[in-house]
């Protein structure tokens, strides 16, 4: 059974002030949260150590997880 969510009067008053754009943004964010994420597949690949180390360092400087960056690069490449 799913839990019931209760809202304070203050929160409900705040929601009444929302613009149509804010409501649409909220609903879109909620829809994205409810959309099942595709399964991930564990892979193994050989990468020269200096390349991997440099890549990890650059990701760390950019405050990005290196595996996330690899996936982003794959997506960007497919979109081209």
Consecutive sets of 10 residues in the chain, 80 residues long: mean pLDDT of each? Answer: 86 92 93 87 96 98 97 95
Q: How many domains does the chain have?
A: 2
User: Has residue 51 been placed in a domain?
Assistant: yes
CA distance 73 to 79: 10
User: Has residue 12 been placed in a domain?
Assistant: yes
| 51 and 80, same domain (yes or no) | yes
Q: Which DSSP symbol is given to 18?
A: -
pLDDT confidence of residue 60: 97
| 56 and 29, same domain (yes or no) | no
- Residue pair 61/71 in contact (Cβ under 8 Å)? The answer is no
User: Has residue 76 been placed in a domain?
Assistant: yes
Q: Is the dihedral of CA 58, 62, 67, 68 positive or negative?
A: negative
Q: Which DSSP symbol is given to 3?
A: P
User: Has residue 2 been placed in a domain?
Assistant: no
pLDDT confidence of residue 37: 82
User: Has residue 41 been placed in a domain?
Assistant: no
SS3 at position 69: helix
User: Has residue 40 been placed in a domain?
Assistant: no
> Which residues form the domain of 77?
46-80
CA distance 31 to 50: 42
């Amino acid at each position: 059974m799913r839990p019931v969510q209760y809202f304070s009067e203050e929160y409900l008053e705040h929601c009444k002030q929302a613009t149509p754009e804010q409501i649409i943004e909220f609903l879109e964010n909620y829809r994205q949260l409810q959309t099942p994420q595709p399964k991930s597949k564990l892979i193994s690949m050989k990468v020269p150590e200096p390349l991997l180390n440099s890549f990890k360092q650059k990701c760390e400087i950019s405050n990005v997880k290196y595996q996330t960056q690899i996936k982003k690069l794959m997506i960007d490449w497919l979109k081209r």
